[in-house]
Structure formats: structure tokens, C-alpha cells
């Protein structure tokens, strides 16, 4: 039988007595009900007292004592709004305000109505006997507002009114602790106990302060004294249980929490501690229930009630974080720190929340404050190490983790030390620590996963599989880890085993998204598009708002060469997604591939704002700005990317190369500086340094940078390639060719074959270039880039028939590629082939927003005498890309042909002043002469 069931006969009896007496209401009966209510109140039977007081008021609505006591009972029972109504009714009935002032002030504090308290609760008209209480309440209200100066003043006035009262000391001692005056807080709490040795609140306050000062033994003794005076004091009972848990005396803590249940005390702090104990026992279901009860109580309270209540805010934050509700935990912690910026536990916890969310800029100052307060706290060292790891400052991170390990020796600190050592290239030490952490805690999936991946990278497939299986043996029903095992099997070449693993997961849970997505990757590799589409589509029906499944469908349709369907899925995924930019990036890539540059640019702008702290969207936006000829905005975007990359050398090099493409030489130099600051001998950073100096035109500095690169990485592809590039830029074509051939010998590729070709052409040996590139293309007949390069070189060499054949080969592999169609159409026009129009129209069809494709079609039509049709396309191309001199020249030519000489003259004049000036040609000079320019 539940407690409520046990009380039901008694409560029903009270209600029945009330109903039977209604017809015979008398002051005598009211008095009897009141006396019974008073006795119940004194015994702690708040529900019984409430019912009897309501009975009293039904008998005699004007009994002032009943209204007043009802307010006190409801206040004590946590029914704050009901208590407020009762006190207001008492005042309305004629109770002197001095009788209600103190409990009403306590009520306002609990309701968070601090301004109302300060406005209405003053000393005016109040008897001397309650001045101390009023001043103390005002001090507490000021403190909760963050006005420490006025709080201290109110407490000082209270102490002056009655130096022997413990009340202001009990309220002020925690405030002193918050202000960093620990010694004064300790002394004040001790004084309060001395003045009021029978006051449980005084002992509770002393216990709280001693606990904060890490005097656990003294804190425990103080709370036990408080409970001896008042066994039903909830705050002391919870504090006592918390201390016992910290000491590892969990069985005793359970007894404390059980007593609170017996007393029918539903307190979120107690539920949090109950959840903590359950999780330590491995009872995840009970823990989740308890944490859920804690957040249910806290979340139900009005914001103004919990705003100044630090224990409730911490209970809510801790419980929400344990349940994975980071946003709610963050809200409660930020609320707490708004009124008490020095709350150590809240500082540390909020820093952890920020780190989990990768909000490192907000985590850093919190951790710095915490380190100043407690320089030897291993938890803070651990978090600060995690922060430095995230910022790629691996040496500093490693030092912090080493200190955390020395202080605490926890397996998590050992694990993170291993991660930092791996990042520093200390593979042996890093692996040793990861193995040590995993051995100490075999269920540590984070350590196990990293070990598995490292073994895999080392080619130790057997050990990788063994470690993955070891993780699962500790939690055989963990579908995430079973999915991980399937991935490992796939990576070790066991595709059949991987497929079986994913299928087994989906038998257990048909809606387990990661396994379905991984299975679809296998399907796509084997061109089983229909199976993958069917499976993913069913998942979408069951979860229409799942951005990951929609993204996977988009990838699938791209692989299946269905771009329209792919775009529909990707758009929906991007709309729903909040943390992963992949769908948006793929949309940009798809739009750019279709030459819809305007749409690609607008999509990239939106994505860069949505993911302002991620690198990939900024780089995508910068590339599109460059494609549009907007170098200034490209460089500005790269500045934002540089801040995001911080000390990641690989990312800084990537940004630096893009800076050079956008004309940002100083920006690229800064990228080099940041990269080399993080890793002084970083290969690609040293290579980029040469390129930067070359762009600056300082030959001596180029040679010095090249010397540094070759000394640090002699014989490397990067060193050979960079030296060849320098020789090429200096017109030393034989040396450049030798360098490129050395690179090709080490890393054969189409890109390197093209470099050799360029050096040969520059050296005047175009026939040799054609022969070598043709041989490479024949060796790699499905390499589209090789065929495209061959076609271009053939055009350059005047081998138009050969170029035509090469373009046909490319289009057989990529029939809808706009860039190839544009070049092919231009070639056909050059050959006088009427099919040029069809090819140009196809290019526009597959890239409807592409200015180059539109210009190409318009120019071919004009050259073929269809000026009116061509003019329409050329006007559109000019509007899409007004910075292209060639487009404006083509438009001027068409306008002149149409007799619009004035407009043609304006366009032709602009063609030579826009950023991408018109290329010189005989036709250009002829038109200039015709228009008088």
C-alpha cells in the first residue's frame, strides 16, 4: 500500500467531518478544528493541518489565526501561491502587517520576487522585535539580485540591531563565501552556532561552509548536529547524504534518502542523489527515473522561483546533463552564475557543458577562473587539457593531462593523456596509456575505439577486431558498438561479415539508423541502389524529420545519377539539420557542378552563417566568391576560416593556398606563421612558405624558404614539387621538367602528368607533350581529367580533329558535364560544324544559371548570324557576370551588329575596365575602331 493509500481513510474522515458539520457551523467547532490543525502543524502533519484549517475557515471565515496559520502551513509545504493567497486574505481580514511581514518576505524570496520584497518589506511601522528578520530578508534579496554592497549593508544593520541574533549571521555567511572571503564566512558560521546552539539552520549553514572549504569531517559533524536538533530538516538531510556519498559511505546515504521518502519530501536534490547512487550500481533504468523526477520538479517551477535558488539550479543542471539535455543544463548553470559568478561547482560544470558543445571560447575563461581558485583540482586540469586538445595545442594538453593523472590517476585522465601523446607523434607512449586506460576500464568505449582505429591504421587487423569485440563483450546489447564492429569488419575487408553485422542489428531494431546507413554504403559500393533506396525510404516514412537518413538518400541518388531527386533529399536534410553541414555542402557541390553558381553562392552564404564556427562552410563560400570573381569577399571569408582553424597546421595550409588564389598574400603568410607555430617542421607549411615568398617576388627569400624545406624534408614529393614550381616560374623549363619527372616517379598521377606536359609546352616541345599525355591517357582510358587535359593540349597545338575525338571520349564518360560541353561547342564552332549550337544548348540545359555557358551559346548564335537570339543570351550572361570582359565584348559585338552603337560602345569600354579584362584579339581591335574607341 502506498503512503497516499495509507492516509486516505484519515483524510476522508476529516473531509466527512467537515461536510457533516457545515449545517451546524459554530465558533466552537471552528476553534476545535483550529486547535487540531495547530497540533498537526507542530507535529509536521502539513496535509492534515491544511484540511483542518480549511474546515476552520468554513466554520468561521473571519478567524484571523486560521488564515495566518494556513499561509504558514502552505509556505512550509511548498505551496507558494496558495500561501501568498492565504497571507493576503489574512491581511484583508485585518491581521496586522507585522504578523505577516516575515513569512511573507520568506515567501517572496522563494517566489523569486526580490523587487517586491524590497519595495514592500521595510522597517516602517514594524515593531523592533522583527527588525532583525526584516533586515536579514532584505539583505538576502539584495544578494540574490547581485547587489552585494547593499546586501552587506542590510546584514550589518541587522547585526547592529541585535548583536546576539544568529539570524543575520546564518544568512550572511554563505554570501561571504561567495565573495571569496572564506575565513570570514567560517568565523561567522561558527559565531552563529555559538549564539544559537539549538538552531538547526545555524548548524546546517556551518556544514555547508565547511564542506565548501573541503573540511568534510567538520561538515559531516555539523550536519549531524543539525539533524539531531531537527531530524526533519530537509536541507541538512540532503547535505548529509551528499557528504556520505563523497566519502564512499553509500549505504548510509541511502538511509538518509529513504527517510526523505518516508517524510514524503519530494526534493529534486534528493532525486539527483538517488539517481547518482543508482548509476554507480549500474542500474541505469532507476538512475534515469530518478534524474527524470529531479528535472520534472525543477522544470515545473516558475523561472523567478529558481532564479536565485542555487541548490535547485545545481540539481536541475546536474540531472539534465546526466540525461543528455545539454541546453537545459546550460540554461540553469548560466542562470546560477549570473547571480553568483564565483560558484565553483557551477563554473566547472558549465565549462564541461561548453566543451561538450565545442564552445571553447566560452569554456576557457571559466576554466581559467576555476584554476585560479583551485590550481590543483584534477577535474579542472582534465577539462583544461580537453580544451587545449580541441584547440590542437597538444603539448600543453599533454602537460595538463599528466598533472591530472598525477593528482587523480583516473582512467579517463590516462586515456586523454594517451590521446594527446598520439597527437604529438609520441605513438609508443600514447598507445601505452590508451592500453592502460582500457585495461583499467574495459568498458571505456572511447579508449577502445581509438585503440581499434590505431591498430587498424598500423595494419594490425587482428588486434583491431579483438579490441572491438572486447568492447562489445562488456555491453553485448549496445547497438552502437555492434555497429562499430561491423564497420571494422568492413575496413578489414570482411564485407560479408560487415553486412551480416548490420543486418543482425536491424533485426534487433529495424529503426537503428547507423546500421541502415552503413548497410546502404555497402549497397552503393555494389551498385544495389534499389535495395538501399527501399530500406532508407522506409526509415524516412517512420521518421520524416531525420536529417541523416535524408542526407544518405541524397548521396544514394547522386551515386545513382539522379540529381533532381538527390537535391530534394539534401534540401530537406539541410533544413532539419542543426549541427552537421554535410547536406548543405553537398548541395553547393551539386549546384556548382551544374554551373548554377548564383544558387550555389546563396546556399553557401546561408550555410556559412548557420555554421559560423565550422571550417568547411567558410571554405566553400570562399571558393564560390573566387569563382564569381569576388576576391575581396573571398579573402574576408578566409579570415574567418583562419580564426576557426587556430593552430591546426593542415587547415592553416589549406586556407593559405586559398588565400594565394584570392590574392591574399599577407593572409597566406599569416597562415604559414600559424601552422609553423604549431608544428615548426610541418611539410606542407614549409612548402607554402616558398609559394608565398615567390608571390612576393623576393628571390632571395624564395631560395631561403626552399632551402629550409629541402633541409627538413630532403627528397620529399613536396620539396621536389616546390623546387620544380620555382624553376618553372623562373623560366628554367628543363630544371622544372626534371623536377616534375622526379615527382611523377614517386607518385604517378594525372595531375603530375599534366605538370610535365605544361613544362614541355613552356619549353617549346609541344609534340613531346602531346605524345606523353596521349600515352598516359591511353594507359588510363577512364580517367576523365587525363582526357580533358589531352583535348585542351590538342586544341592548343592546333590538332582539332584529335581534340574533337578526345572530347567525344570525355562526353561518352560524362555526357552531361557542362564544362566539357562548353569547350566542345567552342571547338565545333571553330570547325564550322552546325552541331556547335546543339552542344552549347546542352551546356545551358545542364547549367542553366552558368554565365559562361549562356555566353558561349549566345556568342555561337551571333557568329552564325542569328543575332537576335544570341543577343538575348548574351544580355543574360552579362547580367549574371558583369565582371567578365569577354562576355561584355561579345555583347558589344552583338549590339553593334543590331545597330545599337551607343549601348555597344558603353559595353566595349567596360570590357577593358572590369576585373577580368577582355582578352586581346583582332576582332576586338576591329570593333574598337568601328565604335571610335
Q: What is the pLDDT, as a whole number, of residue 604? A: 94
Residue 146: HSE in the Cβ half-sphere, 13 Å Cα cutoff: 10
Together in a domain, 932 and 841: yes
Q: Residue 780: give its domain's CATH number.
A: 1.25.40.10
DSSP single-letter state for residue 94: T
Q: What is the pLDDT, as a whole number, of residue 799? A: 83
- Region 366-375 average pLDDT: 89
Distances in Å between the Cα of 908 and the Cα atoms of 321, 431, 890, 899, 911 are 65, 67, 9, 14, 5
Which residues are paired to 916 by β-bridges? 884
- Region 199-218 average pLDDT: 92
pLDDT score of 345 more than 80? yes
CB-based burial label for 184 (10 Å; 0-12, 13-18, 19+): middle
Length of the chain as a residue count: 933
State how far the Cα of 297 lies from the Cα of 304, in Å rounded to an integer. 15
- Residue 888 in domain: yes
Which residues are paired to 405 by β-bridges? none
Angle at 751 between CA 748 and CA 753, to 5 degrees: 60
* DSSP characters over 705-755: HHHHHHHHSTT-HHHHHHHHHHHHHTT-HHHHHHHHHHHHHHS--HHHHHH
Together in a domain, 428 and 527: no
* Helices 167-178 and 182-195, axial angle in degrees (round to 10): 170
Confidence band of 220 (pLDDT split at 50, 70, 90): very high
At a CB cut-off of 8 Å and minimum separation 6, what does 789 contact? Answer: 750, 753, 754, 757, 773, 777
Q: What is the pLDDT, as a whole number, of residue 107? A: 87
Helices (H) and strands (E) in the chain, counts: 55, 0
CB atoms within 10 A of CB 881: 22
- Region 597-622 average pLDDT: 93
Q: What share of the chain is helix, strand, coil (3-state, %, to 5)?
A: 80, 0, 20
Q: Using CA atoms in the order 233, 238, 241, 245, what is the torsion angle rounded to 10 degrees?
A: -170
pLDDT score of 817 more than 90? no
Confidence band of 26 (pLDDT split at 50, 70, 90): low
Together in a domain, 833 and 901: yes
Which SS3 state, helix, strand or coil, does residue 494 take?
coil
- Region 183-208 average pLDDT: 94
CA of residue 914 relative to chain centroid, distance: 42
Angle at 432 between CA 431 and CA 438, to 5 degrees: 85
Q: What is the pLDDT, as a whole number, of residue 596? A: 83
**Which triple of cell numbers denotes residue 798?**
592546333
Q: Which of 770, 769, 746 is nearest to 756 (CA)?
A: 769
pLDDT score of 879 more than 80? no
- Residue 458 in domain: no
* Residue that the C-alpha cell 535524408 belongs to: 550
DSSP single-letter state for residue 130: G
pLDDT score of 206 more than 70? yes
71, 103 contact by CB (below 8 A): yes
135, 155 contact by CB (below 8 A): yes
- The model carries a pTM of 0.54
State how far the Cα of 300 lies from the Cα of 303, in Å rounded to an integer. 9
What does residue 166 show for φ and ψ, rounded to 5 degrees?
Answer: -85, -15
CA of residue 234 relative to chain centroid, distance: 38
At a CB cut-off of 8 Å and minimum separation 6, what does 293 contact? Answer: 266, 268, 271
Q: Which of 316, 275, 274, 323 is nearest to 296 (CA)?
A: 316
Q: What is the pLDDT, as a whole number, of residue 269? A: 92
584, 607 contact by CB (below 8 A): yes
State how far the Cα of 426 lies from the Cα of 438, in Å rounded to an integer. 18
- Residue 853 in domain: yes
Q: Using CA atoms in the order 531, 537, 539, 542, what is the torsion angle rounded to 10 degrees?
A: -150
Which SS3 state, helix, strand or coil, does residue 393 take?
coil
pLDDT score of 871 more than 60? yes
Q: Which of 197-206, 488-497, 904-913: highest mean pLDDT?
A: 197-206
pLDDT score of 10 more than 60? no
% of the chain surpassing 70 pLDDT = 96
% of the chain surpassing 90 pLDDT = 38
- Region 791-809 average pLDDT: 83
At a CB cut-off of 8 Å and minimum separation 6, what does 788 contact? Answer: 806, 810, 820
- Residue 518 in domain: yes
Together in a domain, 561 and 527: yes
State how far the Cα of 141 lies from the Cα of 357, in Å rounded to an integer. 34
Q: Which of 366, 402, 400, 373 is nearest to 385 (CA)?
A: 400
Domain C-terminal end among 409, 424, 440: 440
pLDDT score of 609 more than 80? yes
Together in a domain, 921 and 822: yes
Say how many domains are in the chain.
4
State how far the Cα of 121 lies from the Cα of 144, in Å rounded to an integer. 16
**Which triple of cell numbers denotes residue 601?**
553562392
pLDDT tens sequence across 452-462:
888 887 788 88
Angle at 679 between CA 678 and CA 684, to 5 degrees: 115
State how far the Cα of 845 lies from the Cα of 369, in Å rounded to an integer. 61
Domain C-terminal end among 525, 559, 576: 576
State how far the Cα of 734 lies from the Cα of 739, in Å rounded to an integer. 9
- Residue 768 in domain: yes
Angle at 382 between CA 377 and CA 383, to 5 degrees: 100
**Which triple of cell numbers denotes residue 603?**
546556399
Q: Which of 389, 346, 385 is nearest to 366 (CA)?
A: 346
**Which triple of cell numbers denotes residue 122?**
521595510
| Max CA distance (Å), the chain | 122
- Region 715-732 average pLDDT: 91
Together in a domain, 822 and 913: yes
State how far the Cα of 601 lies from the Cα of 578, in Å rounded to an integer. 20
At a CB cut-off of 8 Å and minimum separation 6, what does 74 contact? Answer: 50, 80, 82, 83, 86
Mean pLDDT of the chain: 87
293, 322 contact by CB (below 8 A): no
State how far the Cα of 678 lies from the Cα of 518, in Å rounded to an integer. 36
Together in a domain, 824 and 752: no
pLDDT tens sequence across 96-124:
788 888 999 988 888 888 889 999 999 98
* Residue that the C-alpha cell 584547440 belongs to: 391
* Residue that the C-alpha cell 567596360 belongs to: 910
380, 371 contact by CB (below 8 A): yes
Check residues 593 and 255 and name the one with the higher pLDDT.
255
Confidence band of 240 (pLDDT split at 50, 70, 90): very high
CB atoms within 10 A of CB 829: 21
- Residue 627 in domain: no
Q: How much is the CA Rg of the chain, to the nearest whole Å? A: 39
Q: What is the pLDDT, as a whole number, of residue 664? A: 94
Q: Which of 173, 104, 161, 181 is nearest to 137 (CA)?
A: 104
Together in a domain, 841 and 776: no
pLDDT tens sequence across 627-657:
887 889 999 999 999 999 988 888 999 999 9
State how far the Cα of 593 lies from the Cα of 598, in Å rounded to an integer. 12
Q: What is the pLDDT, as a whole number, of residue 27? A: 63
Q: Which domain holds residue 781?
A: 715-801
64, 93 contact by CB (below 8 A): yes
- Region 725-730 average pLDDT: 90
556, 539 contact by CB (below 8 A): no
State how far the Cα of 545 lies from the Cα of 576, in Å rounded to an integer. 7
Q: What is the pLDDT, as a whole number, of residue 518? A: 87
Together in a domain, 774 and 849: no
- Residue 727 in domain: yes
Burial 452-490 (b: 16+ CB within 10 A, else e): bbbbbeeeebeebbebbeebbeeeeeebebbbbbbbbbb
* Helices 818-830 and 800-813, axial angle in degrees (round to 10): 150
Domain C-terminal end among 576, 599, 620: 576
DSSP single-letter state for residue 62: T
Together in a domain, 931 and 844: yes
Q: Which of 524, 522, 516 is nearest to 548 (CA)?
A: 516
- Residue 898 in domain: yes
Together in a domain, 833 and 794: no
Together in a domain, 878 and 793: no
225, 209 contact by CB (below 8 A): no
Amino acid at each position: 500500500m502506498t503512503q497516499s493509500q495509507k492516509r486516505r481513510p484519515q483524510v476522508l474522515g476529516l473531509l466527512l467531518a467537515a461536510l457533516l458539520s457545515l449545517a451546524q457551523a459554530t465558533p466552537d467547532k471552528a476553534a476545535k478544528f483550529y486547535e487540531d490543525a495547530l497540533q498537526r502543524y507542530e507535529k509536521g502533519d502539513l496535509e492534515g493541518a491544511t484540511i483542518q484549517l480549511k474546515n476552520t475557515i468554513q466554520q468561521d471565515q473571519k478567524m484571523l489565526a486560521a488564515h495566518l496559520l494556513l499561509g504558514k502551513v502552505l509556505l512550509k509545504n511548498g505551496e507558494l501561491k496558495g500561501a501568498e493567497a492565504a497571507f493576503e486574505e489574512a491581511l484583508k481580514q485585518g491581521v496586522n502587517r507585522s504578523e505577516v511581514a516575515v513569512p511573507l518576505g520568506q515567501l517572496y524570496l522563494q517566489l523569486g520576487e526580490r523587487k517586491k520584497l524590497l519595495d514592500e518589506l521595510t522597517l516602517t511601522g514594524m515593531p523592533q522585535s522583527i527588525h532583525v528578520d526584516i533586515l536579514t530578508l532584505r539583505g538576502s534579496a539584495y544578494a540574490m539580485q547581485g547587489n552585494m554592497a547593499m546586501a552587506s549593508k542590510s546584514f550589518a544593520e541587522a547585526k547592529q540591531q541585535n548583536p546576539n541574533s544568529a539570524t543575520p549571521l546564518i544568512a550572511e555567511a554563505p554570501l561571504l563565501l561567495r565573495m571569496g572571503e572564506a575565513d570570514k564566512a567560517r568565523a561567522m558560521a561558527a559565531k552563529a552556532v555559538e549564539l544559537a546552539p539549538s538552531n538547526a539552520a545555524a548548524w546546517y549553514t556551518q556544514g555547508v561552509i565547511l564542506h565548501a572549504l573541503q573540511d568534510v569531517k567538520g561538515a559531516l559533524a555539523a550536519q549531524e548536529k543539525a539533524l539531531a536538533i531537527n531530524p526533519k530538516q530537509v536541507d541538512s538531510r540532503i547535505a548529509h547524504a551528499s557528504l556520505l556519498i563523497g566519502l564512499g559511505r553509500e549505504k548510509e546515504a541511502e538511509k538518509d534518502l529513504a527517510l526523505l521518502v518516508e517524510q514524503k519530501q519530494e526534493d529534486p536534490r534528493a532525486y539527483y542523489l538517488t539517481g547518482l547512487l543508482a548509476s554507480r550500481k549500474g542500474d541505469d533504468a532507476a538512475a534515469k527515473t530518478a534524474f527524470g523526477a529531479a528535472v520534472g520538479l525543477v522544470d515545473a517551477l516558475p523561472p523567478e522561483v529558481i532564479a536565485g535558488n542555487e541548490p535547485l539550479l545545481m540539481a536541475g543542471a546536474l540531472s539534465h546533463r546526466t540525461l543528455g539535455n545539454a541546453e537545459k543544463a546550460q540554461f540553469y548553470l548560466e542562470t546560477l552564475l549570473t547571480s553568483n559568478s564565483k560558484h565553483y561547482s557551477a563554473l566547472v560544470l558549465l565549462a564541461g557543458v561548453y566543451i561538450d558543445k565545442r564552445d571553447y571560447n566560452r569554456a576557457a575563461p571559466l576554466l581559467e577562473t576555476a584554476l585560479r581558485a583551485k590550481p590543483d583540482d584534477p577535474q579542472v586540469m582534465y577539462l583544461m587539457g580537453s580544451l587545449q586538445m580541441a584547440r590542437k595545442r597538444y603539448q600543453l594538453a599533454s602537460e595538463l593531462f599528466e598533472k591530472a593523472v598525477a593528482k587523480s590517476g583516473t582512467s579517463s585522465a590516462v586515456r586523454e593523456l594517451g590521446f594527446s601523446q598520439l597527437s604529438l607523434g609520441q605513438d609508443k607512449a600514447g598507445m601505452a596509456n590508451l592500453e592502460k586506460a582500457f585495461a583499467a576500464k574495459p568498458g571505456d568505449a572511447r579508449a577502445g575505439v581509438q585503440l581499434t582505429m590505431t591498430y587498424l591504421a598500423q595494419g594490425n587487423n587482428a588486434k583491431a577486431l579483438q579490441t572491438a569485440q572486447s568492447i562489445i563483450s562488456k555491453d553485448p546489447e549496445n547497438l552502437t558498438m555492434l555497429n562499430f564492429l561491423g564497420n571494422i569488419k568492413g575496413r578489414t575487408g570482411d564485407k560479408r561479415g560487415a553486412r551480416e553485422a548490420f543486418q543482425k542489428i536491424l533485426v534487433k531494431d529495424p529503426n537503428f539508423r547507423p546500421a541502415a546507413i552503413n548497410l546502404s554504403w555497402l549497397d552503393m559500393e555494389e551498385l544495389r541502389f534499389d535495395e538501399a533506396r527501399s530500406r532508407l525510404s522506409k526509415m524516412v516514412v517512420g521518421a520524416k524529420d531525420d536529417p541523416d537518413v535524408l542526407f544518405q538518400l541524397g548521396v544514394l541518388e547522386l551515386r545513382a545519377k539522379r540529381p533532381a531527386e538527390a537535391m530534394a533529399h539534401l534540401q530537406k536534410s539541410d533544413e532539419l539539420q542543426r549541427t552537421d553541414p554535410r547536406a548543405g555542402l553537398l548541395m553547393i557541390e551539386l549546384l556548382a557542378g551544374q554551373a548554377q553558381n548564383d544558387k550555389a553562392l546563396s546556399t553557401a552564404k546561408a550555410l556559412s552563417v548557420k555554421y559560423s564556427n565550422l571550417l568547411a562552410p567558410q571554405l566553400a563560400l570562399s571558393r564560390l566568391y573566387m569563382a564569381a570573381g569576388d576576391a575581396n569577399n573571398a579573402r574576408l571569408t578566409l579570415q574567418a576560416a583562419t580564426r576557426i582553424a587556430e593552430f591546426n597546421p593542415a587547415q592553416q595550409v589549406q586556407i593559405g593556398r586559398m588565400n594565394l588564389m584570392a590574392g591574399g598574400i599577407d593572409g597566406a603568410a599569416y597562415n604559414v606563421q600559424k601552422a609553423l607555430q604549431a608544428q615548426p617542421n610541418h611539410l606542407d607549411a614549409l612548402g607554402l612558405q616558398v609559394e608565398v615568398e615567390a608571390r612576393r617576388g623576393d628571390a632571395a627569400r624564395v631560395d631561403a624558404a626552399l632551402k629550409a624545406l629541402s633541409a627538413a624534408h630532403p627528397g620529399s614529393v613536396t620539396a621536389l614539387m616546390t623546387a620544380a614550381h620555382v624553376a618553372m616560374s623562373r623560366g628554367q623549363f628543363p630544371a622544372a621538367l626534371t623536377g616534375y619527372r622526379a615527382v611523377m616517379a614517386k607518385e604517378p598521377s594525372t595531375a603530375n602528368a599534366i605538370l610535365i606536359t605544361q613544362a614541355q609546352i613552356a619549353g617549346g616541345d609541344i609534340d613531346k607533350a602531346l605524345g606523353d599525355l596521349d600515352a598516359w591517357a591511353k594507359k588510363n582510358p577512364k580517367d576523365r581529367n587525363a582526357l580533358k587535359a589531352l583535348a585542351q593540349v590538342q586544341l592548343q597545338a592546333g590538332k582539332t580533329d584529335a581534340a574533337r575525338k578526345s572530347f567525344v571520349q570525355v562526353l561518352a564518360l560524362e555526357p552531361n558535364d557542362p564544362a566539357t560541353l562548353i569547350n566542345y561547342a567552342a571547338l565545333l564552332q571553330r570547325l564550322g560544324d552546325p552541331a556547335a549550337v546543339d552542344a552549347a544548348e546542352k551546356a545551358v540545359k545542364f547549367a542553366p544559371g552558368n554565365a559562361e555557358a549562356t555566353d558561349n551559346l549566345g556568342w555561337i548564335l551571333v557568329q552564325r548570324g542569328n543575332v537576335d537570339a544570341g543577343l538575348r543570351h548574351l544580355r543574360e550572361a552579362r547580367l549574371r557576370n558583369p565582371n567578365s570582359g569577354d562576355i561584355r565584348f561579345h555583347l558589344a559585338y552583338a549590339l553593334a551588329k543590331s545597330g545599337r552603337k551607343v549601348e555597344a560602345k558603353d559595353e566595349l569600354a567596360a570590357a577593358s575596365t572590369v576585373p577580368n579584362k577582355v582578352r586581346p584579339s583582332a576582332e576586338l581591335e576591329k570593333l574598337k575602331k568601328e565604335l571610335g574607341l
